[in-house]
Amino acid sequence: MSLVTSRQGYLGFALESIAGTPEATPSVFLPTTENTIETKHEKLMDTSSRASRIMDHNSVSGKKWSEGDVGMYLDGTNTGYLLKAALGNEVKSDFQTTPNVDNHQFYVTASGNSPKTATTWNYRGATPAVRQSNRMSIDTLELEVTNEDIATITASFMGSEGIDVTAPDLTTTSGTVFTWCGASLQFGDTVAEARDATATKITNFKMSLTNNLELLYRSGDCTPDEITMGDAEVIGEYTLFFENDTELDAYINNSKRSMVMTLTGATIGETTEQLEVVIERMFVEDKSIDTGQESLFAITSNYRAINDSPGQILVVNLRNAKSALY
């Protein structure tokens, strides 16, 4: 057997129609920049007293599960698989007919405790080569846009123990990446006003959704019988040069604002690929000011999304040429 590098590995992914029931084939092979998914096994130790100073006598099987982080560049197509898995819901609408362009709207599951689940196929070159995990769910999802690199998305997964399976047929789904060059951040009293507002020029933006997953174990199996979601929270930060007191005043006055982050990508017909992060209501929870003598004054605002009126705490719109639901 020849050895392979990490770059030659792959991660197949398919959202599950029935939670916990493995899908037959991958819907996509995600172009990852990071993949730390692996099977975990928490052994149970026999430490009973046996007329000896020796503490450990035996180990038996305990909890088994899979976990790890998957990182990708934010692109106009593949990003949607992680967005749907993390947020849980999708509504598709027509945006343009020639050529076909659709808007995929993802929003957070506000009621119920069942997460969206997926099956993964993880290849790392070992024999047997592919480990399949089902009931894979996203505990945290983070988007980051900086003026140093391509925008990224990182998902932290939890799910069932991986098992050895036959390697699936590889396919490629292309997607163009987003960068800060096509980014804008806007604020307003409402989402509509934010979309019409003059963009605030930033140097960094982060958004993190946490689902607070819990693996539930029941008699008869060492692997999770179910996964549930706990409290949902959305936090993040953004950084801008200290040109006025707007951000400082927002922090001091506990201002509640709507926030829209937009990333514009490749041209499709008469429009473009686009990813839009909509936070209906947020406030600046904390801030820090860069006062280094060799740096420009800059302020980093740490924000928290709230749901002070009926609505969605987080909505992400992804506009692309994919005509089917994710």
Give the model's confidence band at 171: pLDDT under 50 very low, under 70 low, under 90 confident, else very high.
confident
Q: Minimal CA–CA distance to 11: which of 209, 167, 223?
A: 167
Mean pLDDT, rounded, of the chain: 93
311 has pLDDT over 80: no
Query: Where are the alpha helices (H) located in the chain, listed in sequence order?
Result: 79-87, 191-196, 246-252
What are the angstrom distances between the C-alpha of 151 and each of 79, 148, 274? 11, 9, 13
Q: Where are the domains of the chain?
A: 6-41+58-320
- Which stretch of 2-11, 14-23, 103-112, 153-162 has the lowest confidence by average pLDDT? 2-11
Query: pLDDT tens for residues 208-254?
Result: 999 999 999 999 999 999 999 999 999 999 999 988 899 999 999 99
Amino acid (1-letter code) at residue 293: Q
Query: pLDDT tens for residues 196-212?
Result: 999 999 999 999 999 99
Tell me how far apart the alpha carbons of residues 209 and 121 are, in angstroms, rounded to a whole number: 24
User: pTM, whole model, 2 decimals?
Assistant: 0.94
100 has pLDDT over 70: yes
Spatial contact of 273 and 265, defined as CB atoms under 8 Å apart: yes
The number of beta carbons lying within 10 Å of the beta carbon of residue 262 is 18
